Amino acid sequence: MTYAYNVRSYQFVNAPNWIETQHYDLSFTPNKPKPAPSRNMSHEQLKTSFHRQQQRMQAVLRDRFGLVLKAETKEMPIYSLVVAKSGSKLSPPKDPKAPMHMSTSRGQITVVSTPLNLLTNSLSSLLGRYVRDDTGLAGMYDFELKWSPDLQPNPEDPESSSMFTAIQEQLGLKLESKRGPVPVFVVEKITKPESN
């Protein structure tokens, strides 16, 4: 569901517990063969391919699980990504023709020719909280972000973690904790599918 609707699990409201514990294998075959996403595709081609796959998965969820959702906005704790007082340290792509690429591993995010919305999506997954891009920065960037994943934050100040410091020191950006509107999906209906 998170893949099909490009959201995080906390953005589903009124979902039954079994959707977190039950696992299913889903497969679908397009009517017409489509080229698989590759690093040689342009940003627009990758976006179109990703969107098409999402639509297919949404159809499977409707047909096999009877999924019915209602889109709403809910006030929740969020992180606002802003430019730090020291100023942005982001650089435009070294090679403007390089295909968009992003890789995430333990304690590291590396991007090539990538917009900031992919960074906020990745941070949302890592932090378990919606991250909104309030930088006002457009365009594509190359950067590498490294932090110490084993360095535990102060329980009284979760923003003291190594990741928050790395974002400010290495990217010239800052995550600010606040409350704000978050797009959510209210689960109105979902049923366990019968076995084939």
Q: What are phi and psi of 4, to 5 degrees?
A: -60, -35
Q: What is the pLDDT of residue 158?
A: 55
DSSP string, 108-149: EEEEEEE-HHHHHHHHHHHHTSEEEE-S---S-EEEEEE--T
Q: Are 149 and 160 in contact (CB under 8 A)?
A: no
Phi and psi for 96 in degrees, rounded to 5? -60, -20
The pLDDT score that the predictor gives to residue 178 is 94
pLDDT of residue 193: 79
Predicted pLDDT of residue 79: 95
Q: How far is CA 161 from the centre of its chain?
A: 20
Place of tokens 């906020």: 120
Beta-ladder partners of 69: 187
* CA atoms of 189 and 6, how far apart (whole Å): 19
Q: Which residue has the tokens 């995010």?
A: 109
DSSP letter, residue 37? P
Q: Looking at residue 72, what is its pLDDT?
A: 95
pLDDT tens digits for range 78-106: 999 999 999 999 999 998 888 888 899 88
Q: Which residues of the chain have pLDDT under 50?
A: none
Q: What is the pTM of this model?
A: 0.75
State the number of CA atoms in the 13 A half-sphere of 71 facing the CB: 4
Class of residue 45 by CB neighbours under 10 A (exposed 0-12, middle 13-18, buried 19+):
middle
Query: What's the confidence (pLDDT) of residue 12?
Result: 92
Domain spans, the chain: 2-189
**Cβ distance 183 to 78 under 8 Å?**
no
